[in-house]
């Protein structure tokens, strides 16, 4: 085992897969000599060269479109979108092309590619460097959506995503890049897609989260535990495919479910979780399926006080757990 930061685990995962498989390439803005805006690809250009670590123009549609073409011709590209906020110019390529090529070709073609993008707020990034965009892509059949919360999962899930024969959106909360550390095995290991994990067991309320919100939910659970409320925290890890079994087993045990996510509340990913729980665990519920999420405003404010107002934190999640537990 070695202690690695979240971003070090991602960098290690890419490097090891590139050493193992010559078809794995990296494409994106400043991913080469500069090593990326967050240094996620630092050192890869020096080891693998221009042919496999490719700087691109500032054109997200081209980054994803060229990656699709590369994937169709025997390569396994990792396309880096500098910020998830900038992924929208590539939306058509992702949703209308990459996601549908297997279906459209009756399994004649696959698109083995990973699209990495830092997402989320709380870093004073304001409107165009703080967005959470996962709900757009979980809606689309043919796409897999992964959001790890630990260095172990970041590396293990990335390895699995790279080896998958279908397109994977791999979102990384930028606030966790250097603030989250953890044990990561030095040997080869992988974490399968579609398996959630119970980060904390409890019997009164199930808290469902992913990414940074897992850490906030765990801290919230510690706070309410002092008051006799035992919250169970589920880390989804993979938003699509979703591990329904772990989710429903927990809710059927606790009878109450709170979904914590940073994105805007209306139409967010938490709404799908709420619908699944209401449809498939209704008879077990002792309270309303609840959500705590970002407010429905167009963006995360730059002003520090307003950014704090927008963002979730452990105190806000703890209050939501208390309200639901008391229902």
Domain identity same for 118 and 178: yes
Domain identity same for 117 and 67: yes
Domain identity same for 99 and 153: yes
Pairing of strands 181-184, 2-5: antiparallel
Domain identity same for 132 and 270: no
Half-sphere exposure of 272 (CA within 13 A, CB side): 17
In a domain, 281, yes or no: yes
Phi and psi for 291 in degrees, rounded to 5?
Answer: -130, 140
In a domain, 192, yes or no: no
Give kind and range of the element (H or E) at residue 163: helix 151-163
Q: pLDDT band at residue 1, thresholds of 50, 70 and 90? A: confident
**Cα angle: 169, vertex 173, 178; to 5 degrees:** 130
Q: Give the residue numbers marked as catalytic.
A: 129
pLDDT in tens, 59-68: 999 999 999 9
Average pLDDT of span 166-186? 97
Q: Which domain holds residue 129?
A: 2-184
Mean pLDDT of the chain: 97
Domain identity same for 88 and 214: no
In this predicted structure, what is the pLDDT of residue 295? 96
In a domain, 180, yes or no: yes
pLDDT in tens, 9-56: 999 999 999 999 999 999 999 999 999 999 999 999 999 999 999 999
For residue 187, pLDDT beyond 90:
no
Q: Is 234 helix (H, G, I), strand (E, B) or coil?
A: strand
Q: Is 76 helix (H, G, I), strand (E, B) or coil?
A: strand
- The domain tally of the chain equals 2
In a domain, 287, yes or no: yes
CATH assignment of the domain containing 89: 3.40.50.970
Domain identity same for 175 and 67: yes
Domain identity same for 72 and 149: yes
In a domain, 189, yes or no: no
* Residue that finishes a domain, picked among 184, 211, 237: 184
Average pLDDT of span 208-235? 98
pLDDT in tens, 58-93: 999 999 999 999 999 999 999 999 999 999 999 999
Domain identity same for 136 and 8: yes
In a domain, 117, yes or no: yes
CATH assignment of the domain containing 315: 3.40.50.920
* Residue that finishes a domain, picked among 184, 205, 237: 184
Domain identity same for 149 and 217: no
* Residue that finishes a domain, picked among 125, 151, 184: 184
């Amino acid at each position: 085992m070695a202690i690695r930061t979240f971003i070090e685990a991602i960098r290690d995962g890419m490097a090891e897969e590139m050493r193992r498989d010559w078809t794995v390439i990296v494409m994106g803005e400043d991913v080469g000599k500069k090593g990326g805006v967050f240094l996620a690809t630092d050192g890869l250009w020096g080891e693998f060269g221009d042919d496999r670590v490719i700087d691109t123009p500032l054109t997200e549609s081209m980054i994803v479109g060229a990656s699709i073409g590369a994937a169709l011709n025997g390569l396994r590209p990792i396309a880096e979108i500098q910020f998830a906020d900038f992924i929208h110019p590539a939306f058509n390529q992702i949703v209308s092309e990459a996601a549908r090529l297997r279906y459209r070709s009756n399994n004649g073609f696959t698109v083995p590619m990973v699209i990495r993008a830092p997402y989320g707020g709380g870093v004073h990034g304001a409107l165009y460097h703080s967005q959470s965009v996962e709900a757009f892509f979980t809606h689309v059949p043919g796409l897999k959506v992964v959001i790890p919360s630990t260095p172990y999962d970041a590396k293990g899930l990335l390895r699995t995503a790279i080896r998958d024969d279908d397109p994977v959106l791999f979102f990384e909360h930028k606030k966790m890049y250097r603030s989250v550390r953890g044990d990561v095995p030095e040997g080869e290991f992988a974490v399968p897609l579609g398996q959630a994990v119970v980060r904390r067991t409890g019997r009164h309320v199930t808290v469902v989260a992913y990414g940074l919100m897992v850490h906030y939910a765990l801290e919230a659970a510690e706070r309410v535990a002092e008051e006799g409320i035992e919250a169970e925290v589920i880390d989804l890890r993979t938003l699509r495919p979703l591990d329904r079994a772990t989710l429903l087993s927990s809710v059927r045990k606790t009878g109450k479910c709170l979904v914590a996510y940073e994105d805007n509340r209306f139409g967010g990913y938490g709404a799908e979780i709420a619908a699944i729980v209401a449809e498939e665990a209704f008879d077990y519920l002792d309270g309303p399926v609840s959500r705590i999420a970002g407010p429905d405003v167009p963006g995360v404010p730059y002003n520090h006080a307003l950014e704090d107002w927008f963002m979730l934190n452990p105190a806000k999640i703890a209050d939501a757990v208390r309200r639901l537990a008391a229902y």
